[in-house]
Structure 1
Amino acid sequence: MVNLNFGEIILWEMMGTAMLTLLGVGVVANVVLKKTLGNNGGWLLINIGWGFAVFVGASIAAPAGAHLNPAVTLGVALADADAKMGGWGNFPAYLIGQIVGAFLGAVLAWAAYKLQFDTHDEPRNTRGIFCTGPTVPNYLWNTVTEVIGTFVLVAWILLSPGAKVGAGSIEFGNSALGYAAVAFVVIGIGSSLGGPTGYAINPVRDLGPRIAYAVLPIKGKGSPEWNYSWVPIVGPLLGGLLAGLLYLIVT
């Protein structure tokens, strides 16, 4: 990672996370909204879209370490035993950039599909385009699902053979694939573990678009369901924490 100041970290993380959510929310809109070429494209198309949204976002945010996700930032901070992230001092910079970027990306996705939102015949069911929700509501077990999915992601980032963590950055063990490797991991998590909750595995990926959904002028939209919103925040953070602790134990 290039030696960046607080504001530069915010900027790079914001741009990367904005691209992540623009493409991620965009692929769900393409599948869900009726008057699109991707309508009814299915769960696999959504998984692939989100996976490569991570690849694009991480590639852009590479100068800041390409976190895009507070759970990753937490895991890296724990794993960086030398405290090269500035003794956690840069943690707020990552978080600010990620939240603002996630909100902006969701707004841009809405703008790209505005006409389809305006003509969609089930506007009350559009929340799921922006943020996650459980297929069987049980907040405890929904949290467990998010913990497990995020643990897989962050543990892979920290523990893949040859991976190096330090100075707030991540050097993946599979250098041939680089950030594209993360895309395949995200697609795998979505295909295997995403069914129960929609696999947020990233607090800001859910929170930023949920805020955007609450404020955007979508005609006839439903509730943003704030009562569930803490699950895709707490679950991923716990998953990232556990992955960071595992790294400290085994390395």
Structure 2
Amino acid sequence: MAQQILGEFIGTLVLILLGDGVVAADVLKKTKSENSGWVLITFGWGLAVTIGVFVSGYLSPAHLNPAVTLGMAMAGDLPWGSVLPYFLAQMAGAIVGATLVWIHYKPHFDETEDQMTKLAVFSTAPAIRDTMSNLIGEIIGTFVLVFGILAFGRSSFTDGLNPIVVGLLIVSIGMSLGGTTGYAINPARDLGPRIAHQILPISGKGDSDWGYAWIPVVGPLLGGAIAALLFGLIP
């Protein structure tokens, strides 16, 4: 179990370091890739997931996402006793990964004045703030993610190809469904960095938007659970 917990911690750390890192590269002032756009972010997140899975897959199942962990447990592919330890490891990895992003980009955080832009490096926010629509968006996006992962697990891939396919799935979700909420589709991805934003001494930061924070946690967990339930109905 200790090895699996370490794997989830390392993988999620790398996921957030590279994922939040690509957001920082796009939105913060005076980076060489400032204002590169949504395509950079979606591909960056897809690659972040792929690399996170590759670096941790020899230690753990490399879920790197509480919604995936919950879905796998509900599908019978993970013992329920592993769920909470995985959750905690993923959350810790996300906090550390987000902290490293801040350290790496600190001069650019200092050059950036807009508070919401700084928060956007760490956590998601909706393009149009509508509670029910935002919640449904996160449910649908995570449903596609978890259902896809479960389906991939029943298929035969060349050794080493599965993480790449999952990364492409992330890119597809981001491009097709992510423009509404920023597609957290992962409670640790949003909540861990949001906690880091709250506690880090980031110059000129605003609040961490805790009023919205429950949506990218509850939505993905519901989406993952529904995906597992429906997948279990397929013969």
Do the two structures share a fold, i.e. TM-score over 0.5? yes
CA displacement, residues 70-103 of structure 1 (integer Å, 9 cap, x when unaligned): 11111111112xxx633x0111111011000000
Q: Does 1:220 align with 2:204?
A: yes
Which aligned pairs between 1:188-227 and structure 2 lie closer than 5 A?
188-227=172-211
Q: Does 1:43 align with 2:16?
A: no
Match of 1:184 in 2: 168
Match among 8, 11, 19 for residue 13 of structure 1: 8
CA contact (8 A) 1:78 1:244 kept: yes
Q: Does 1:244 align with 2:228?
A: yes
CA distance in structure 2 between the partners assigned to 1:122 and 1:227 by the alignment: 19
Match of 1:175 in 2: 158
- TM-superposed CA distance for 1:35, in Å, is 1.0
CA contact (8 A) 1:142 1:197 kept: yes
CA distance in structure 2 between the partners assigned to 1:174 and 1:71 by the alignment: 23
Q: Does 1:152 align with 2:144?
A: yes
In structure 2, the CA distance between the partners of 1:116 and 1:65, relative to structure 1 (3 Å rule), is same
Q: Does the residue aligned with 2:201 lie in a helix, a strand or coil?
A: coil
- TM-superposed CA distance for 1:25, in Å, is 0.6
Which aligned pairs between 1:56-135 and structure 2 lie closer than 5 A?
56-62=51-57, 63-80=59-76, 85-86=78-79, 88-135=80-127
CA distance in structure 2 between the partners assigned to 1:224 and 1:42 by the alignment: 23
CA contact (8 A) 1:102 1:204 kept: yes
Which letter maps to 1:12? G
Which letter maps to 1:133? A
CA contact (8 A) 1:33 1:117 kept: yes
Match among 225, 235, 238 for residue 219 of structure 2: 235
TM-score (ref. length: structure 2): 0.95
Match of 1:31 in 2: 26
Unaligned stretches of 5+ residues in structure 1 = 165-171
CA distance in structure 2 between the partners assigned to 1:179 and 1:218 by the alignment: 34
Structure with greater helix share of residues: 2
Which letter maps to 1:11? L
CA contact (8 A) 2:30 2:108 kept: yes
TM-score (ref. length: structure 1): 0.89
RMSD: 1.3
- TM-superposed CA distance for 1:123, in Å, is 4.0
CA contact (8 A) 1:61 1:67 kept: no
CA displacement, residues 209-229 of structure 1 (integer Å, 9 cap, x when unaligned): 000011111111111000000
CA displacement, residues 105-133 of structure 1 (integer Å, 9 cap, x when unaligned): 00001111011111223245311111001
CA distance in structure 2 between the partners assigned to 1:100 and 1:238 by the alignment: 22
Quick one: percent identity of the two aligned structures? 48
CA contact (8 A) 2:16 2:189 kept: yes
Q: Does the residue aligned with 1:250 lie in a helix, a strand or coil?
A: coil
Which letter maps to 2:19? G
Q: Does the residue aligned with 1:59 lie in a helix, a strand or coil?
A: helix
